[in-house]
Amino acid sequence: MKKANRLAAKFAALALSAALLSVPAFAADGITGRVEAGGAPISGAEVTLWLAGPDAPQKLAEAKTNEDGSFDLAFADGKGDGGVMYLIAAEGKSKLSSGNGPNPATTLMATLGTKAPARVTINELTTVASAWTGAQFLHGIVLRGDALGLSIAAGNVPNLVNLETGGLGPVIMDPLNSSETTTLAKLNTLGILLTACVTEKPDACDKLFAAATPPGGVAPTNTLAAAQNIARYPWHNADKIFGLLDTFYPVPAGKRWREVDLIPYLNFAPSSWTLSLVYSGGGYNGVGGIAIDGEGNMWSANNFLVGGQTTIFDWVGGGISKFAPNGKPLSPMIKGFRGGGVDSAGWGIAVSGDDKVWVTSIIGSTISVFDRKTGKPLSPETGYNLDGKLGAMQGIMVAPNGDIWTLDNDHSQIVHLPKGDASKGRIYGQVVDGKPVDGTLQLKKPFALAIDQNDYVWVTNSGSNTVTRFPANDPGKAVDFEVGYSPHGIAIDSQGNAWVANSIGHIGIREKLAFVAEKLEARFGSHDGSASKRAAKEWIDLWEISDKFPGGDVSMIRPDGTVLGPFNAGKTMNGAWGISIDGNDNIWVSNSMSHNLSQLCGVRTETFPPGLKTGDAISPPGGYIGGLKTITGVAADSAGNVWVANSWDQTLAGFKQVPDEALSTRFAANTTVVFFGVAKPVHTPLIGPARAE
């Protein structure tokens, strides 16, 4: 009987969809749609259209669903513009339910964006997609936040789900996401668990709500609240939540598949319930650093050119790429944005407040600048190289006063461009006869830099185990702090603490230290050869060290110079590389060699899960995964999404003088990964210390 009901429901859904095909793409003054679960309609549900903004949302329209789950909403007074719209469907009775009346635990959601589609399906998948992308703005049925963050969240919903049909969205079904990550199966599994509650499987709501109770919190009372909790605490009770799948929908005897409406679903418990998507295109290839601009676009510095037969011994350098907040590439497909002297863009990329994108080059030994809106180069064709005095360049940053600071990793120098004026550029850090020319400033393969609230510049020395700090107005007054070996990324939190990603970490064993010392001397003891060959040697040796002695950790340096740590996420870090700080001052670290993303507690105890302290891992053992390869840059955005740069793919092919032909274009990774709603939103572009949006 239930099977017949499901078939009838599906035919009804098809008939409704066919009837709606003649409706225009976007609503002028109303929305028609359907509320469903498990493919069957929900009748008697209260449907409300809301307009979200920085204050309490505004109710635009409301209606009740018919027997076939359909509804018709008319905008009051022609409203429907000027914010992000979303639909809430509450209570009602599913055609698959054996209950006698409305289910009070049913609350479903669909985030529509700034333009309301003419037809919408509200179901489990739209609820999951809306709850995850809007996790940092959603409180109960109230969606509230700044315009940029809300628009980014809403813009990513259609990547996960088709708002018209309630089925899967185009991005989650594409080849990069449908079979190369578990996101599709996770989305469906979450949807199935919500279905069980909505259709009133025995004890389903109680068991789901118990598993979705947040750490130290109270149990949710409806399906949307349960989804919100899982999205915000994706690591909590991950296996228990997965176990509900077998409780609610066991595989029937003699069968191979569960009797569910959504496939594929997970076969194994996930380490966490994060939802991430993989994006590609726009010249993205072998990326070093990434940066988020003031409109939520992601910019990447591409080491290599798409399609080139690249090894670390011989490659054609790449340019820079731009992705919209929804992952759509906005730069040219193969070359990205080029010109202006960019050649093998490295770690250094930063966005200024005057709509410029600054980038450094490894092979080109240059500093380049592009127009943020058009992608056109603003620097000369040869770039800025300060009369040929620069080597392979890496980190770059924009100071709050508009100055540009950038690092010559090759020659262990730092370059200062006052207000971005290259004609007034000055180089600091030169060493003559073993003595620093500029007071106490002596760098050792500087890689990344940041500036704190007191205008002190912080520099990681990847060729040692130190971080250098000096006043921006007097680089000669430098001091060094010991951290882990080969520090790379650095970021400053809102309290003025410097957080450092140590790629090799605190090894601590004499034999290992001897090995590392030998490698460091080999890596950094000579400037013979081209910049690209020196970079290749550095990459090989760093890879060999990390492969032979896995490690990596994070150090924290307080403003008074006290060094805390190391923090290593339960020894699950290897090759810690990039580091980003979110609006809660929690720490995000990309682990290049272990291919995972770590989330650590920062210094604000009120943002910690119960029982944790500064430096403890919030992410599960093994970190967050999903589409990650050998990773480098990491950056949080204004919607609480965390972007991660895949850099290398077929590493062994790239380390050969002559790679196998079939793998000769696959050394570099060509994808970036976005984890939705996992971080507290942060203000972009990042200029100075991190601060909440």
Concatenate the DSSP letters of all residues of 147-201 into one string. Answer: HHHHHHHHHHHHHHB-TTTSSB-TTTTSHHHHTTSSHHHHHHHHHHHHHHHHTT-
Q: Percent of the chain scored above 70 by pLDDT? A: 89
Q: For residue 680, is it within any domain?
A: no
* Domain edge (last residue) among 273, 308, 325: 273
| Mean pLDDT value across residues 545-570 | 89
Together in a domain, 626 and 661: yes
CA dihedral 504, 506, 509, 511 (to 10 degrees): 30
- pLDDT band with cut points at 50, 70 and 90 for residue 10: very low
User: What pLDDT, on the 0 to 100 scale, is given for residue 165?
Assistant: 97
User: What pLDDT, on the 0 to 100 scale, is given for residue 412?
Assistant: 95
Q: Could you please report the per-residue DSSP string of 620-645?
A: PTT-B-SS--EEEEEEE-TTS-EEEE
Q: Over the stretch 83-120, which tens digit does the pLDDT of each residue have?
A: 899 999 999 999 999 878 999 999 999 999 999 899 99
Together in a domain, 493 and 559: yes
* Domain edge (last residue) among 210, 238, 273: 273
- pLDDT band with cut points at 50, 70 and 90 for residue 75: confident
Q: How far is CA 200 from CA 98, 258, 499, 583, in A?
A: 7, 17, 48, 39
User: What pLDDT, on the 0 to 100 scale, is given for residue 32?
Assistant: 96
| Mean pLDDT value across residues 70-75 | 93
For residue 11, pLDDT beyond 50: no
User: What pLDDT, on the 0 to 100 scale, is given for residue 532?
Assistant: 61
User: What pLDDT, on the 0 to 100 scale, is given for residue 76?
Assistant: 65
- pLDDT band with cut points at 50, 70 and 90 for residue 12: very low
Q: Over the stretch 372-418, which tens digit does the pLDDT of each residue have?
A: 999 999 999 999 999 999 999 999 999 999 999 999 999 999 999 99
Q: For residue 7, is it within any domain?
A: yes
**How many whole angstroms separate alpha carbon 493 and alpha carbon 44?**
49
Task: Tell me which DSSP letter residue 384 carries.
Answer: B
Residue with tokens 């998507």: 277
Number of H helices, E strands in the chain: 11, 38
**How many whole angstroms separate alpha carbon 492 and alpha carbon 499?**
6
List the single range of 319-333, 348-362, 498-512, 630-644 with lowest mean pLDDT.
Answer: 498-512
For residue 513, pLDDT beyond 70: no
| Mean pLDDT value across residues 257-269 | 96
Residue 443: domain span = 276-675
For residue 678, pLDDT beyond 90: yes
User: What pLDDT, on the 0 to 100 scale, is given for residue 15?
Assistant: 36
Together in a domain, 526 and 443: yes
Together in a domain, 372 and 411: yes
Tokens of 634: 């990491």
User: What pLDDT, on the 0 to 100 scale, is given for residue 660?
Assistant: 93
Together in a domain, 231 and 373: no
| Mean pLDDT value across residues 637-660 | 93
Together in a domain, 35 and 96: yes
Q: For residue 689, is it within any domain?
A: no
Q: For residue 686, is it within any domain?
A: no
Together in a domain, 445 and 493: yes
Q: For residue 585, is it within any domain?
A: yes
Q: For residue 383, is it within any domain?
A: yes
Together in a domain, 494 and 392: yes
CATH code of the domain covering residue 281: 2.120.10.30
Q: Could you please report the per-residue DSSP string of 46-90?
A: EEEEEEESSSSPEEEEEEE--TTSEEEEE-GGG---SSEEEEEEE
| Mean pLDDT value across residues 357-370 | 97
Q: For residue 300, is it within any domain?
A: yes
Name the nearest CA neighbour of 87 among 66, 67, 71, 102: 71
Q: H or E segment at 139? A: strand 138-139
For residue 5, pLDDT beyond 60: no
| Mean pLDDT value across residues 557-564 | 98
Task: Calculate Rg over the CA atoms of the chain.
Answer: 26
**How many whole angstroms separate alpha carbon 138 and alpha carbon 143?**
5
Together in a domain, 290 and 246: no
Q: Over the stretch 592-626, which tens digit does the pLDDT of each residue have?
A: 999 999 999 999 999 999 999 999 999 999 999 99
Name the E strands within 477-594. 479-482, 485-492, 498-505, 553-557, 563-567, 576-581, 587-591
| Mean pLDDT value across residues 174-191 | 96
Residue with tokens 């940092």: 136
Computed over every residue of the chain, the mean pLDDT equals 91
Tokens of 266: 């997970």
Name the nearest CA neighbour of 157 among 143, 171, 147, 145: 171
Residue with tokens 């850090």: 429
Name the nearest CA neighbour of 186 among 208, 212, 160: 160
Task: Tell me which DSSP letter residue 250 carries.
Answer: P
- b/e sequence 418-444, b meaning 16+ C-beta within 10 Å: eebebeebebbbbbeeeebebeebbbb
More confident residue, 81 or 430: 430
- The 10 Å Cβ neighbour count of residue 387 is 8
User: What pLDDT, on the 0 to 100 scale, is given for residue 1?
Assistant: 40
Q: Over the stretch 419-449, which tens digit does the pLDDT of each residue have?
A: 999 999 999 998 888 888 999 999 999 999 9
**How many whole angstroms separate alpha carbon 344 and alpha carbon 521?**
25
User: What pLDDT, on the 0 to 100 scale, is given for residue 526?
Assistant: 47
Q: For residue 683, is it within any domain?
A: no
More confident residue, 221 or 507: 221
- pLDDT band with cut points at 50, 70 and 90 for residue 583: very high
Q: Which SS3 state, helix, strand or coil, does residue 206 take?
A: helix
Together in a domain, 249 and 308: no
Residues contacting residue 688 through CB under 8 Å, at least 6 positions apart: 399, 400, 451, 452, 453, 492
Contact (Cβ atoms closer than 8 angstroms) between residue 211 and residue 241: yes
Together in a domain, 395 and 434: yes
User: What pLDDT, on the 0 to 100 scale, is given for residue 444?
Assistant: 94
Beta bridge partners of 35: 122
- Number of domains within the chain: 2
- pLDDT band with cut points at 50, 70 and 90 for residue 336: very high
Task: Tell me which DSSP letter residue 214 carries.
Answer: P
- 265, amino acid identity: Y
* Domain edge (last residue) among 239, 273, 307: 273
- pLDDT band with cut points at 50, 70 and 90 for residue 203: very high
Together in a domain, 269 and 280: no
Q: Over the stretch 450-469, which tens digit does the pLDDT of each residue have?
A: 999 999 999 999 989 999 99
Contact (Cβ atoms closer than 8 angstroms) between residue 446 and residue 462: yes
User: What pLDDT, on the 0 to 100 scale, is given for residue 539?
Assistant: 64
| Mean pLDDT value across residues 21-41 | 74
User: What pLDDT, on the 0 to 100 scale, is given for residue 326?
Assistant: 98
User: What pLDDT, on the 0 to 100 scale, is given for residue 538?
Assistant: 66
